[in-house]
Each structure stands twice: as structure tokens, then as C-alpha cells.
Amino acid sequence: MTEKNYRLTLDAIGNRDPAYLETIFSLGNGHFGIRAGDVLTPSATAGTIINGLYETAPIQYGEAAYGYAANHQTTVALPDLRVITIQNAAGEAFVTNALGEKTLDLRSGQLQESWLATDPNGATIQVQLTSVLQQPAGNLAALTYTVTAVTYTGKLTLAKTLKMPPQAAVSGDPRQARHLAPPAVHLAQPDAQTLVATIRTRQSRQVQQLQLAAAQGLTFAADLVPGAGITYPVVAVVNALNDESRLGLNVPVASLTKSVATAAKRYWQGFWAHSDASIQGDFRLDLAIHYNLFQLASAAGQDGKTNIAAKGLSGTGYEGHYFWDTEMYMLPFLTYTNPQIAKRLLEYRARILPQAQSRARLLGVDSGALFAWRTINGEEASAYFPAGTAQYHIDGDVAFAVDRYWQVTGDQAFMRSTGLQLLIATARFWAAFGSWSERAHQQTFEFFAVTGPDEYTALVNNNYYTNRIAKFNLATAAQLAAEFPTAAAQWQVTATEIADWRHKAAAVFLPYSDDLQINEQDDSAFHKPVWPFAQTPKDHYPLLLHYHPLTIYRYQVNKQADTLLADYLFDDLDAAQLQREYAYYESITTHDSSLSRSIFSALAARLGQQEKAYRYFMDTAAMDLVDLQQNAADGLHIANLGGSWLSLATGFGGLAIKSGVLSVTNHLPRQWQSLTLRVQIQGRLLQITYRPKKHR
Amino acid sequence: MTEKNYRLTLDAIGNRDPAYLETIFSLGNGHFGIRAGDVLTPSATAGTIINGLYETAPIQYGEAAYGYAANHQTTVALPDLRVITIQNAAGEAFVTNALGEKTLDLRSGQLQESWLATDPNGATIQVQLTSVLQQPAGNLAALTYTVTAVTYTGKLTLAKTLKMPPQAAVSGDPRQARHLAPPAVHLAQPDAQTLVATIRTRQSRQVQQLQLAAAQGLTFAADLVPGAGITYPVVAVVNALNDESRLGLNVPVASLTKSVATAAKRYWQGFWAHSDASIQGDFRLDLAIHYNLFQLASAAGQDGKTNIAAKGLSGTGYEGHYFWDTEMYMLPFLTYTNPQIAKRLLEYRARILPQAQSRARLLGVDSGALFAWRTINGEEASAYFPAGTAQYHIDGDVAFAVDRYWQVTGDQAFMRSTGLQLLIATARFWAAFGSWSERAHQQTFEFFAVTGPDEYTALVNNNYYTNRIAKFNLATAAQLAAEFPTAAAQWQVTATEIADWRHKAAAVFLPYSDDLQINEQDDSAFHKPVWPFAQTPKDHYPLLLHYHPLTIYRYQVNKQADTLLADYLFDDLDAAQLQREYAYYESITTHDSSLSRSIFSALAARLGQQEKAYRYFMDTAAMDLVDLQQNAADGLHIANLGGSWLSLATGFGGLAIKSGVLSVTNHLPRQWQSLTLRVQIQGRLLQITYRPKKHR
């Protein structure tokens, strides 16, 4: 464990776009996040992001219909806590003249930055900033500014305030945040050291307070000569609504910044002690995976009321919404390494069950619950149902995550309450949503007009992934309701209902192509022509930005793993069939989704195709560090951060758990000297070390 | 031909909702329409509608994607030409105290109305208004007011102005018009007799002028005693932008109103002479069919630049858009009776070919043209593509209408230009849009991710109707391009291309169920469960207003004839199969679309089920007169007006044309004494009289 493998500097990344760097060097603690904007000039894309805070507005439809999602929920970037004004003796502002230096220390959670800045006369100062957030999920940010005169001589005035970020230009990219009316901000300065911003969103009527405390005063002046410097510590409090978290008068700011830093360092050391994944023999990948795990943990809500947004707390892309990404891509790492966080995230799902039950009723399903495809408050916020609400599989994804948590932790108390409640509500949905059909004189249980994970195919019948996970969900609910009969009785589960789930689980239809001898993505997938890849210019990817959905839907083309994701999860194919399926689906997959490559890597490793697995893993592990998707400026691809751990642990490391029994298989690529994983299985911390097999 | 069978009064209709009556007694002349609003109080739902006039605004999508329709096109209701202010001596306004009397004379085009009105003191006057529009498609409306004192004594002041209708409340019903910013209205009064309103739409930048000319002055006062009356003629000019149509000073308004009325009467007498359809032995149905044909003819644009809106000129529902309704429901009547109008409507399609070509390119189809699903200016205005742009069948519908026009008229000049051009552009689309697949070792030409006429089923593969009309389109284009080689060469049609169309036409796949021995709506239609009709409350129809599209899509349920429409058009099934198909599809059809019952009636007649045909026809013929769909307040269902002629002429009358040969079959129901149709075949006016067969 060498220090540099846990330290990200600008050297490690090629892109110098300021908005991109704001994302990459952002800090989060589950409760809030700060983007690493310029220290002297407010950026339209920087600001403070609070998990679960959103503004709302009615969704405008060109043509509306019954049951459409009613309201947007959109995360709101609040004032940038980091920005400071520095003026020369004439009251003229210094501006930074380059991106400066940045170092993110993953073992202490500290971001160290330094910039050179000039005034209109060309006089130069150096500004250094150390940022660290209170961990875990605390309210405090400790910001320590050190300003040193380089060529400047005279009075320097530092001033802190809180201003909403400037409005960014509106874009047509559906993946970016939309702009709603900015919240009302009311500033109060109870004393010279303290600034309190009370922020009210106009429609969702949420209230937040940000507080700044600066012992030297919100405005602080000093006379400097070249080489001389001053240190100016500030503590920011996020969500300072209650007296406990609000800082009082004469708070010892400098010592508080130190104690926040000390606690953060302790937290991250503990984190690595039970969560580390290390690759010996590839510095770049080792750093990348550490970075990914650091940022994934930083994104996770820990209060049971919040979850993990698609961009975490690193940006406002995807409007701060929570998706199935949590259960399928982020929770595996957290479940194996930080089960207490995983539990809180599953409790969030239980908390929004009432909204999910209403949603199921609105969709004409008279039992169970259907989770919103994208949401913050539990209500559906997807404004395009064919690639939103139609992704019913989210119910099965939640059930899968519950079962994984149960197998990894053996947490009976959780299963008796939240776990079983989620399994029952989702199983009831599938049982009521599906319908009986006949195939070759056999009764089959089928699901119509659904969309699987691959959003390049919409509104199909019997999507393989959906059906497979529904089958799992029904069977698992039946099994665990039988194992915990007293708990199940709480939710009126009867023996008849359990038998019904078992019956339906056994009868779920799974599309299979006799011609190709592989599982078929849906009832009609292989009948469509294959996308004309040879005629598609390279700059026409991602396809969704260059082709009408109708064009994409009429071809065989996948945005991401779909049937292969089921193969990955359920691991129920013989090697030959898996090999055939992999080859087939790989040939029609564009990886336009950031959720794709990690699964392709893990399956390739399982298939013994280490070179291919390695290539996919490289793109997965370093996706945001090389800006592969070219939109990291909007925020990190948090699901892919989790996906890179999936590739590493469950692909190369062959980590799996079945019926509570852990298995490990060595699929290491020859490039590495070794791989070390730390995981917790049923309360026991394990370290697993892999070395490449010889003579391959 | 008795007079009362051509005269609609309030006696004939049950509904007394003012907005509904505005629709029913509306007048149109293809160029503009006026709704029969209250004469003294402006109504939010009344006003003047000009064919082709629209305002535009960007379509707001909750979640947009590449290639989505960019802009709304929304018809704009302009000031109500009919409304007048009448004040007593104290300057207080009279208001009507009841709906009054209304008589629409279908043989003269005159609407006669009378109201009693009172002032705040309870003094009463009678107001009579005769409205008639210049025919065909002229600019003038002649309005003659007669005001008689009943109990009132004293000075009466009449005043005409032009004001935009009050803004109506916003509704969630997707079938109603949306509200865009009202246009700018500038009033000028060049002299005491003349008012000119210049109206500019703000975004689409269209300009219209409305002129009022009143020889007695725009304000006119007279002293009356009970029993005494005054007559006040006004001529309104719609689209008075050019000097020719604008009325000059000292225009003889009274004589002009008379000459407009005389010309209109002449026009309508001619219309009935070559267009009449009469049912002897059923006064109510006879009146209804006359009303329908009158309103259908009143709705049709005749300048080659405009078409027929879904609601004609009788209301702003469906935003004034032109749909496939024109070709499949309205054009049959016009083609058989008023071919010069039919020709102009097809010329409109040729006029918007450039937009249709661009649309095809945007949909990833590199040849041919795809007509917008809903449009005024030729650009796609459908904001929900699964039930909009995905209805590719509109191309085939246009081709079908061209062929019908050709067979009925034998108009070679048209075929050499517009006709062939439309056939070629649409055939090219299908040839490039379809793709080759294999079924049972046969190469088949198929169409994926399409929506047929039945909007309760969306984004399916090989919709029977779509495939059948595409097959027809390819074959017909091939045949006529070969018949008119010189003309075809204009559009670079080669022998190779003709052969390609023939080859593909022959290979188009048509779904068929071996189990049920009927044509199947699409590749997977019969595999879905049937809609739970028994559990659906009566007030939950139309389903689209009570169920999410995902709920509707996962069942077998039809909004309207789909496969049956193909059966109706192509008449290529033996009676037994047709009977099976009819019974099957009837059992799953809700008739939530106004386009449905006419086809069910015509097919039932063809099947010899006269009682059933008669019941469907009753609902079709009187649909708006009994407000069956409960939304006639938004405008007439013009397609259904045409549909009622389809039921009558092609159902009961068995009228058909194949290879230019007319055939007639008597399917009359026993309720009628006789049916008389007038049609023009290849320039010859025919009258066909049917009497019920004896001894049935």
C-alpha cells in the first residue's frame, strides 16, 4: 500500500476542462458534496449539492396521457462554499491565471489545491486551499486558505460570502440537469464571524441553511510583502437548521478544521481497512480503483432517507435521481464491504414503498409495489415511460439486492423487517402484473410491453432479463417468506400466496432461440435486422444522440448488457452457451451506457478471456479519469465506479455467494502481480489475495 | 327530396350545451369557418377558424430525444365575426336569456337563428341572425341581423367590433387544443362603415386581416317601440390582405349579403345534384347523412395548400391538424362526388413532399418520403411518436387515395404529375424502410417497430394493416410507373427500381394465426391476454383517459378497426375468414375512436349482417348529432362524417371500384324503403337506387 496509489493529481488525467475537473476533484460525504470549482471566480457548474434536496415543477408533455409522471424532481446546486474574494489595496479582485495544482488524498479525504492569481496590475499571489468534509455523512466542511504574496506588496482583503451559482446555459442533452427557478436565498450575518444563508426552494418548499464561520471575520485584511503569507480557516455547516449542528459564537474555527480533518482521516483509514481492493503491478489501475471506491463511498446516503444519485454528489447530471444503478452496480461493493451503508440504502426503498404501491395501482396492477424508475422522493420522475416506467425490472433489482445483502451479512433482524417487506411487495407486483399464456401446450407466465435494461429496445414482450429477475424475485420471496413465517404473517402472506409465487416462478417464460442456441433478449429480438454498424460513422455514437428512437428500436442493437446481465447475475449457463451468448450480444452492443463494460469485463473473465476482460476493465476502471463518455463534467458515473469493483471482485476475483456460501475463483490477467480484496462475510473481515496462475 | 330532410333544427338534437351547439351549427367553406356562438356575448370557444392558419411554439418534452417533432402547430381561433353589442338608451347591454332557435338549411347553406334578449330592466328584444358563407371557399361571410322590440321602447344601439375570444380554461384532455400566446390584433377604422383587424401570430409570423363592412355604420342607433324592428346587414371579409378581396368604401352591403346568399344556394344545389345520398324510410338517418355530407364538404380546403383538419373548420380540437383521416375517411366521398376537391387535397400532399422527404431522412430512411402524422405546414407536429410518427401507414394511405382517385376519375394528367410523384415517393420509403428476414426458409420483407391505426397497440413488428398497405403501395407504384414510363422517368424511376418494388411487394410478410385461422394484428398480438372487459367499469371508456398506455399496451384491446380496416379496403378474404376475423376483432374493440364504427358497419353489411351494420351505422351517422363521443364541443368528427358515407355507399350500397370497373351490391337493411346515391365515375354522373331485397 504505497501512498501514491491513493493520491490523485492532475498528472493522472488528461482532460483540463474546468467543469470536468470540478467533478473529478469533488468531495462528498453521503450527505453533501462540493465540486472543485475555481477558488476565486464562481462557476456556473460548481456549487454545493445536498443529497435529497430538490426543486420540483410540473413536467410539460407535448402530448400527455393518463398516469404520466406529474412532476420533475431536480437537484439544486447551492452556493459554492469554497469560493473566496481576494482584493488588492485598491479593492481590485485577484483572478486565478491557471488551473493550479490539485491533489486528492484518498487516505485522508483531503483535497489540496494551489493557484497563482494576479490582480489587474499583474501582481501575483499564491492561493492554497485545503478542503475536507466531516465523515461519515456529517454537516461540516473544513476549508483552510493560505494566501502568500509572490510579487504583490500591500494590503490584501479576503472576503467570504454565499451566492447562488451563476445560471448555466440550457442544453439539449437529456442527461444534463434541467433548470428550474432558483431557490430564494436569504443571508443573515449575526456577527462579524458568521454568515447564515437560508435557502428555500420555491415549489418543493424545502428549507436548508448553510453557515460559514470564520474566526478572523468574514472579511479579513492583512498587509503582505513577497514571501509572506496568511492562513484563513473557515468552517462551513450544511443543513444548519437545528441548533446542534449550527456553530455558536467564538467557535474555535482553526481547531475545528483540524478535528474535522483528523476525523476524516480516521474514517478513511477505517474504510480502506475493510474495503480495499488493490492491484499490484499496475499503478494506474490501482489508483483508478481506489479513486472509484473512494468516490462511490462518498456518494452514498446513510440516513435511510436518501440514496445514491446517478452522479452521486459530484454533479447535477440526471437531476440527482436515484435509479436501479444503486441496487445493481453500487450496492454490491457496499454490501460486501460496508454493509451498514447497504442496509440504509435498502431502508430507503422500504421508506418509499407507499409511493411505489400507488404507482402500481396507477399502472393497473392491483397488488404489490412498483418502484419509480427515477426518483428522489419516491414518486416517478421519468418523463419518457418507454425507457422509464416500462423498466419494471427495477422491482426485481431491489429484490436481488435484498437477497445479496442477506446472503453476505446473514442479518436476520433486517430480513424479518425491511428485507422481507421488500421481497413481498415486489413479488406481489410480479404475480399480479404477469399473465398466463400458452406455448407448445404449456402454461407460461409472461410479461408484456416491458423494457429491459437495454434502452435501445423498448416495449417488448418477455424481455429475458426482466423475466429472469421476476422469476428470481417470486422464488426468493416464496423461499424467505417460508423461512420467516412469523415475519411474513405481518404482511398477510399466506401459504396459498407462497404457493402461487412458487407456481408462477416456475412457469415464467424465458425466451430462447433454437437457431442460435442462446437466450433471446425478448420474444422478437432476433427477428429484427442487425444495426448497420459498418455504415455508422464513429462520431454517431452514442446512437441516442444521433438517431430517432424509432430508428434504433427497429434494429438489433444494444446500449448495454441486457440478457448478458442476467447471465452475469444468475450464472446458470454452461460455458458453451455463455460463450455463444457473449459473442452474439457483444457483436450488437455499443456500450453507449456507462453500465455496460463492467459486465462485459466480468463475464469475459469468467469465460477465461482475460485479455478481453482486461480491456473492458481498463475502460471501466478509468472511465471518468479518461472521460471516456465525454460527459464527466456533469458528474461522475457512480454506477460505473461500482461496476469497476464488480469487474475486479466478481470478474477477475470470481467472488460469488450462493446460499450464504462464499466462493472465489482466480481469473487474474497475466499483467498483474497480484490482486488483494477485502470483504466482510457474515461479520467476518476477509482479505483475499490472488496471484496469476502460472504457465498460461 | 323533402325540405325537412335537409334542415337541421334544435329539435333534431338532444344536447343543449352551448359549446356543443356552436360546433353543430358551425358553417365552413373550406377556407374559413364560423362557430355558432351566442350573438351578444363572446364565447371562449367560439370564433373564426381559418384553414391553415396556425401559431407555433417549441414542443416541451419532459425528456426529449433526437429527431422529435420540434414545434407545435396550433390553429388559432380569431375574433367571432357574428357577435354584436346591443345597448339600451342608458348604454346597458342586452344579453340573451336562452339558446334561442337555430335552423341550418343544408340546401342553401343558411343558418337562421333567433334569440330573446333582455336589458337589466327586463325589457325584451328579439335578435335574429342569418349567416351564410361565400361558396366555394370564398372570403365573405354575409351576416344579417334583424332586431325587433318585444317589450322594449326607446333607443337601441347596435355596435360591431372584432375582439379575440376570451381565453378558455386549460384542460388536460390531449384531444383539445392547447393554448399558445394569442396573436397581436391591430384594429383600424378607415371610415364609419369599415373595421379592419390585422392579426399577426407571434411565432409563426402569419398575417391575416378580417374586415367588417356595415353600410349603416359600425355603430348604428334607432328608436323602437314594441313590434318595430330594424335590419342591419354586415359583410365580413376573411383574409382581406389583398385589395381584390378587401371591400371598398360605400359597398352595397345589403345587396352583397343577398348575392352571397344566392351564390351559396346555387353552390349547395349543385352539390346535392352530384353528391346526394338519401335514405328513404328513415327521416332521422336521412337528415343525419345530409348533415354529415354538408359539413364534410364545408371542411375541405380547396386551394392545394390546405387540407381537412380532424375537426374541419368547426372547432379547434386536435389543434387543426391534418391526419390520415383525410385520405382514408374523407376522400372516398369527395373522390366519388367532388373529384376536383379530392384532387386539390392530394396536391396538398405533393406540396409538402419536401418536408416528408426530410422527415424520412431524420428517421434513418435514405430514400422516399414519410408524411407527418399530424401537421398543418408539412412538418411533424406529433409530440408522442409511438402513436404518431410510428404510424408509418400514412404513406400507404396517401398512395391508396391516389389510386382510388385514379380509378374513379381516370384523370391521366393528374397521374402523370402529382399522382405518380406521390406513389413513387411513398413506395421508395417502404422499399428503404423495410428489411429482409426469414420465415420458414422464405425470405420475407418486414417492418419493425411500427404502430398501426389502432393506437391501443404501439411499436409492434409487422402490423398487418401497415404491411398490407405497404405491399399495395409498392405494387401500385410499380404498376403505374410501368404504365406511365415517361412520367416515371421524370423522377428517375428505372426498370430495376420497378422490379425491386415488385419483388418486395410480393415478399411483404402478412401475419396470420394458424390457430385462429385469421390475420393477426401483428407478430405478437394474439399472444397477449385479452383486456379484462368484464372488470372495466362503463365510465372507464375511452380507456385512454383512464389507463396508462403501458396498461393498455399489454393487453389485446383495440381502439378501432385495424386488421379489419385492411380487410375492408382490400376485400381479399373469403367470407368465412372475414366472418372469423370480424367476430374476433369485434370482441376486443372498444370503438374509443370515432373512426371505428363506420368500418364495422360497412364490413357487417358486406357479411350480410344487416342488423349489426345498421346499429353501427346509426351510431356513425348520428355520432355528433347525439354527441356519442361526448366531445363534439371541440368540433365535429369530420372523419366520421366521411365514414358514415363509407358505411352507406360502400357498406349497404356495396359500391367498389377495381381496375377502373365500378361494382355495386345491394346490402340494404330491411328498415329502409330505398337508398339513392349519386356518384361521378370517370366524368359520368350516376344515380344508383337500391331497394331492400324481398323475402329475407
The H-assigned helical ranges of B410-559 are 412-414, 420-433, 464-483, 485-490, 495-507, 549-553
Instruction: Judge whether A457 is closer than 8 Å to chain B, CB to CB.
Output: no
Among chain B residues, CA nearest to A446: B528
Hey, what long-range contacts does B252-257 have (CB within 8 A, 24 or more apart)? Answer: B252/B215, B253/B193, B253/B213, B253/B214, B253/B215, B254/B215, B256/B140, B256/B142, B256/B213, B257/B132, B257/B142, B257/B143, B257/B144, B257/B233
Which residues, in sequence order, are CB contacts of B634 under 8 Å at separation 6+? Answer: B23, B175, B176, B177, B311, B315, B316, B317, B318
- Residue of A61, A66, A362 with shortest CB distance to B544: A66
pLDDT of residue A240: 67
- Distance between CA atoms of residues A306 and B686, nearest Å: 76
In residues, how long is chain A?
Answer: 696
pLDDT of residue A696: 47
For residue A544, which residues of chain B lie inside 8 Å, CB to CB? 65-66
**Alpha-carbon separation of residue A662 from A183, A473, A656, B253, B330 (angstroms):** 49, 21, 6, 96, 70
- Assess contact for B118 and B142: CB atoms under 8 A: no
Q: Note whether B60 contacts A63, CB cutoff 8 Å.
A: no
One of A319, A455, A497, A520 is an active-site residue; which one?
A: A455
- Assess contact for B129 and B82: CB atoms under 8 A: yes
Provide the phi-psi class of B225: left if phi over 0, else alpha when psi is between -120 and 50, else beta. beta
Interface probe for B, chosen from A554, A556, A557 (most Cβ of B below 10 Å), is A554
- Assess contact for B598 and B613: CB atoms under 8 A: no
Instruction: Judge whether A436 is closer than 8 Å to chain B, CB to CB.
Output: yes
Cα A237 to chain center, whole Å?
24
- Other C-beta atoms closer than 10 Å to the C-beta of A410 total 14
Instruction: Judge whether A390 is closer than 8 Å to chain B, CB to CB.
Output: yes
Instruction: Using DSSP, state whether A186 is helix, strand or coil.
Output: strand
- Distance between CA atoms of residues B56 and B73, nearest Å: 5
Per-residue pLDDT band for B12 (boundaries 50, 70, 90) equals: confident
Q: Which three cell numbers stand for residue A647?
A: 469487474
Which of B118-132, B187-201, B238-252, B510-524 comes out lowest in average pLDDT? B238-252
- Distance between CA atoms of residues B396 and B62, nearest Å: 32
For residue A68, which residues of chain B lie inside 8 Å, CB to CB? 62, 548
Residue B1, pLDDT > 60, answer no
Please name the residue that has the C-alpha cell 475493510: A274
Q: Edge-to-edge strands of the sheet including A32-34?
A: A27-28, A32-34, A48-58, A71-78
DSSP string, A582-650: HHHHHHTB---STTSHHHHHHHHHHTT-HHHHHHHHHHHHTTTTTTTTS-GGG---HHHHHHHHIIIII
Q: Give residue limits of the domains in chain B.
A: 3-54+74-167+180-272
A455 is catalytic: yes
- Distance between CA atoms of residues A598 and A606, nearest Å: 12
Interface probe for B, chosen from A63, A442, A528, A540 (most Cβ of B below 10 Å), is A63
Interface probe for B, chosen from A384, A528, A550 (most Cβ of B below 10 Å), is A550
Residues 346-375 of A with CB under 8 A from B: 362-364
- Residue of B67, B435, B551 with shortest CB distance to A364: B551
Find the helix packing angle between B597-606 and B575-587, rounded to 10°: 150
- Other C-beta atoms closer than 10 Å to the C-beta of B625 total 20
Mean pLDDT of the region B647-659: 96
Name which of B104, B103, B87 is nearest B95 in CA terms: B87
Q: Which three cell numbers stand for residue B421?
A: 410523384
Mean pLDDT of the region B496-521: 98
Q: What is the ipTM of this complex?
A: 0.94
- Residue of A459, A549, A554 with shortest CB distance to B448: A554
pLDDT, tens digit (0-9, with 9 covering 90-100), for B258-277: 999 999 999 999 999 999 99
pLDDT, tens digit (0-9, with 9 covering 90-100), for B388-405: 999 999 999 999 999 999
For residue B65, which residues of chain A lie inside 8 Å, CB to CB? 174, 384, 544, 548-549
- Residue of B174, B388, B551 with shortest CB distance to A64: B174
One of B113, B319, B455, B497 is an active-site residue; which one?
A: B455
Please name the residue that has the C-alpha cell 410518427: B389
Mean pLDDT of the region B85-99: 95
pLDDT of residue A181: 84
pLDDT, tens digit (0-9, with 9 covering 90-100), for B374-390: 999 999 999 999 999 99
Instruction: Using DSSP, state whether A59 is helix, strand or coil.
Output: coil
- Distance between CA atoms of residues B640 and B599, nearest Å: 10
Name which of A561, A544, A626 is nearest A595 in CA terms: A561
Instruction: Judge whether B529 is closer than 8 Å to chain A, CB to CB.
Output: yes
Among chain B residues, CA nearest to A177: B63
Q: Note whether A549 contacts B435, CB cutoff 8 Å.
A: no
Residues in chain A predicted with pLDDT less than 70, given as ranges, are 1, 169-179, 240, 242-244, 249, 695-696
DSSP string, B383-443: S-GGGTTT-THHHHHHHHHHHHHHHHH--HHHIIIIIHHHHHHHHHHHHHH-EEEEETTEE
pLDDT of residue B696: 47
Mean pLDDT of the region B316-338: 97
pLDDT of residue B175: 62
Among chain B residues, CA nearest to A319: B63
pLDDT of residue B290: 98
- Percent of chain B scoring above 90 in pLDDT: 91
User: Does 2.70.98.40 match the CATH number of domain B3-54+74-167+180-272?
Assistant: yes
pLDDT, tens digit (0-9, with 9 covering 90-100), for A446-482: 999 999 999 999 999 999 999 999 999 999 999 999 9
- Distance between CA atoms of residues B258 and B256, nearest Å: 5
- Assess contact for B230 and B222: CB atoms under 8 A: yes
Q: Note whether A174 contacts B65, CB cutoff 8 Å.
A: yes
- Assess contact for A75 and A316: CB atoms under 8 A: yes
pLDDT of residue A250: 74
Q: Which three cell numbers stand for residue A440?
A: 407448445
Mean pLDDT of chain B: 95
- Assess contact for B482 and B586: CB atoms under 8 A: no
Name which of A581, A625, A644, A642 is nearest A607 in CA terms: A581
Q: Note whether B548 contacts A363, CB cutoff 8 Å.
A: yes
- Distance between CA atoms of residues A294 and A305, nearest Å: 22
Name which of A471, A330, A505, A304 is nearest A404 in CA terms: A330
A278: which strand partners?
A676
Closest approach of chain A CAs to the CA of B428, in angstroms? 17
Among chain B residues, CA nearest to A72: B62
- Distance between CA atoms of residues B555 and A335, nearest Å: 39
pLDDT, tens digit (0-9, with 9 covering 90-100), for A563-612: 999 999 999 999 999 999 999 999 999 999 999 999 999 999 999 999 99
Name which of B278, B291, B272, B295 is nearest B649 in CA terms: B278
Instruction: Using DSSP, state whether A679 is helix, strand or coil.
Output: strand
Closest approach of chain A CAs to the CA of B68, in angstroms? 7
Mean pLDDT of the region B282-290: 95
Q: Which three cell numbers stand for residue B93?
A: 347591454
User: Does 1.10.3720.10 match the CATH number of domain A79-165+181-272?
Assistant: no
pLDDT of residue A175: 62
Q: Note whether A385 contacts B172, CB cutoff 8 Å.
A: no
Among chain B residues, CA nearest to A61: B61
- Assess contact for A34 and A27: CB atoms under 8 A: yes
